[in-house]
Amino acid sequence: MKNSIIVFLLLSLSVLCAQGQIKWYNPMEAEYPVIQNRGWSDEIKNSYQRLPDRAEDFVRKSVWDLSENSAGLAIHFITNADKIEVRYGVSGAFAMNHMPATGKSGVDLYAIDSEGNSRFITDRYSFGDTIKFSYNDILEEEKFKHGYEYRLFLPLYNSIEWLEIGVPESAEFAFIPQLNEKPIVVYGTSIAQGGCASRPAMGWTNILSRKLDFPVVNLAFSGNGPLEKEMVDLISELDASLIIYDCLPNMTNLTAEEVKKRTTYGILAIREKSDVPILITEHIGYLNDRMIKGRKEVVDMLNRASREVFDSLRHSGISNIYYLHKDSINIPEDGTVDYIHPNDLGMQCYADAYEKIVRKILNMPKGDIKTTQAESQRREPYIYEWKERHRQKLDKIKNSPPKKVIIGNSIIHYWSDEKGRESGPESWKEYMEPEGFFNLGCGWDRIENVLWRVYHGELDGFNAEEVVLMIGINNIGLNSDEEIVEGLEFLLRQIELRQNDAVIKVAGLLPMRSQEERIKRLNEKVSVMAKINGWHFINPGVNLLRNDKIDESLFRDGLHPNEKGYKLIAPLITSDVGKSVISGFKAPENKHEKSTRLMSYNIRNARGLDDITDYDRIANVIKSVRPDIIGIQELDSVTGRSEGVDVLNVLSRKTLMYATYAASIDYDGGKYGIGVLSKEKPISVIKVPLPCKSEPRMMLIVEMDDYYFGNTHFSLHSEDRLKSVEIIKKEVEKLNPDKPFFLVGDINATPEMGEVKELLKLFTTLISPADYTFPAGSPHSTIDYIFGYNANDDWRVMETNGVIAEKVASDHRPIFADVLIK
């Protein structure tokens, strides 16, 4: 008996000692906001609620009560602990009839390693007055051995009263501040709140957040998400990257007219404040709608009413709105716990469908190989925290938008931007600082890590004059040359999309000890890729070589230049190579809000009168005019003359317009013809061959929502041109007579010539014949035209039209006309 008491006391003492070794951290006591995936953090302080306190005065009580559930919220932290404990209390019941305690009231923990890989952790848990989740014997981080970043997902359907995270006293621990990226905001029903996932991370908003590695704010309320004005007004206060309305399952008691009214307000109230993208999601339907009377009819009514509003608003000119059809979600029969609430399988279907459309809306594509898949990293935490540096950069960009940026790895980062580790501060101050360069380098970055930073806002919210990219050296040894080049091209397309007005320079990799020959070959491939895409390749590393080997006196470690080395590469980086020369024409006035701007431009394959082929220059001319649609003549597609460049595709990317091409002839290993760039994607395309003695010609017609637009380039021979007019007459008669038809192009004939007179029997010219278009330097002839078809009078020309006085970019001057389509 005595021995038993001693053993008991020893065990008790052991337990008490073990408990004493745990240090507890309370998120509510952090020095900065640490609750992730939540709006209004400046207002919501010491609680896990999802709406600000003032909302209690105007939202319904049911909404307010549900807003105290922690659905979608998460806590991110860093620790090297081998043991983690989470303890907390909740106010509601642990489980529901159709949802287990682990989903309704549990937590989920994920670890992110130094390479950005996510790993789910589960061990022991218990439910009581204090809910406890314990994670024991956690393995040390494999490569860099500085712990993990953790993400703790909170209960989906319960309200947290208090919470603490415990780790051994000897372990390092730090909360990660709330992310400052613009979040995706979801307003919805029980499905979006998380019913009925088996655990919190399996709610579809949390799956989406993990898939995109992006904040998602969950404003879904079980049975209480019927797209109400009060919630829409609250959501309009948030600075979001995307707003998702998934509300129809809670609108079944409303009439079609009320659904339309609420959907219209939900879109227009947001649009009054910002141009943030808005996504409307259909009702997925009921799994028993083929067996239960009336179910299918209700769903069809809701979806039909929602779609009618979407189509009507888009037709009226409301832009940046999107629609997710229920077939895209495609919940399987085994995907719910009842007639509608998803289980984990169903939640995954939801998340997969949302990921696909959200990546498209937010321009966050994911490629097939590692170098085209955005990933975070944490490879040098003993020097700097990667995500903290990212956060700091976003704040600096917001407060002081940079003039120029240079993006890279440690070669750029430690050039001047890490106190105590600067390798070239004098050269930065002498060359880079006067040019206005902002350092966006991160030590140990690879191509896919820069892609993550681009997706997370480092190039958003400002217009740089120049973007320089030098990345890829850390992919050597992990990826083939082809994978590196493909990754660079993928990344550069995303950079160009976000910094469309900037000159983009692709810097070749600097030479590295023992890798000089491979890097030389790789840079040759990068140079070809850059040229094909219309980007400017520079190769500053050539100044660091001696007899095809690195000059060791210019490096501090065989990879990173020293001050002397930086002074040799800086002038090549800051040089004016690739800057476009534009003649300084005055851009036309802004068009009327309801009008459509038509444009025509013979670009001579982007070769200017200075004999320089410059795609940026042509793109800048087009962007300055701001057309809704433009017909372009004289376009090479991957010819030898254009060095393999698809010219229209390059211009499409640089102007952010849809490209439609029509080849007239095979030429020099590729094609030569005409094309159309349009803000909206054409509904249909018609290609009509036209006669020419010397080479075939073409008319390209694209059908838009409200009109047809034709583009052509006539023959140099009058007989061919007259035949072309007759062909056009016949083709126009085939078109829908309810839609206006506009024809633009290089007609190769002046107004007094017979073929133009014949065209004017059918069309009205929208450009004055006295406004000369050719040759661009000193024009004396009008051979470029914009015509409107007379047989349809549902349009009128506006006062803003004419010739753009651009004298250098091509041998023709561009023309434009604004029309109002009734």
Each residue of 472-521: pLDDT tens digit? 999 999 999 999 999 999 999 999 999 999 999 999 999 999 999 999 99
Average pLDDT over residues 420-439: 96
User: What tens digit of pLDDT does each residue of 309-319 get?
Assistant: 999 999 888 99
* pLDDT digit string, tens, across residues 33-75: 999 999 999 999 889 999 999 999 999 999 999 999 999 999 9
Give residue-wise pLDDT tens across range 142-167. 777 789 999 999 999 999 999 999 99
Q: Output the CA–CA distances (angstroms, integers) from residue 483 to 23, 455, 496, in the order listed.
A: 46, 20, 20
Q: What is the pTM of this model?
A: 0.86
Rounded Cα–Cα distance for residues 607 and 635 (Å)? 11
461 touches 401 (CB < 8 A): yes
pLDDT of residue 590: 67
Q: What order do you get walking across the sheet with 160-168 strand by strand? A: 22-25, 160-168, 84-90, 131-135, 124-126
Q: What is the mean pLDDT of residues 211-222?
A: 98
Cis status, amide bond into 196, omega within 30 of 0:
yes
Strands 545-546 and 536-538: unpaired
Torsion over CA: 280, 286, 290, 294 (sign): negative
Of 64-78, 396-410, 584-598, the range with the lowest mean pLDDT is 584-598
Backbone angles phi, psi at 77, to 5 degrees: -150, 165
Tell me the backbone φ, ψ of residue 414, rounded to 5 degrees: -85, 5
H or E segment to which residue 528 belongs: helix 516-532
**If phi over 0 gives left and psi between -120 and 50 gives alpha, with beta otherwise, what is residue 561?**
beta
Work out whether strand 216-220 and strand 184-188 pair parallel, antiparallel, or are unpaired. Answer: parallel
At 319, is the secondary structure helix, strand, or coil?
coil
Rounded distance between C-alpha atoms, residue 179 and residue 559, angstroms: 33
Mean pLDDT of the chain: 93
Number of H helices, E strands in the chain: 21, 35
User: What gap in Å lies between CA 709 and CA 598, rounded to an integer?
Assistant: 9
327-350 pLDDT per residue, tens:
999 999 899 999 999 999 999 999
Q: How confident is the model at residue 694 (pLDDT cuts 50, 70, 90)?
A: confident
Query: What local confidence, expressed as pLDDT, does residue 144 receive?
Result: 74
How far, in Å, CA of 551 to CA of 554, rounded? 6
Residue 237 has pLDDT above 70, yes or no: yes
Strand partners, 449: none
Residue 12 has pLDDT above 80, yes or no: no
| Type of residue at 329 | I
Neighbours of 649 (CB within 10 A): 18
Residue 613 CA to residue 534 CA, distance in Å, equals 10
Distances (CA, A) of 127 to 132, 180, 200, 811: 7, 34, 15, 78
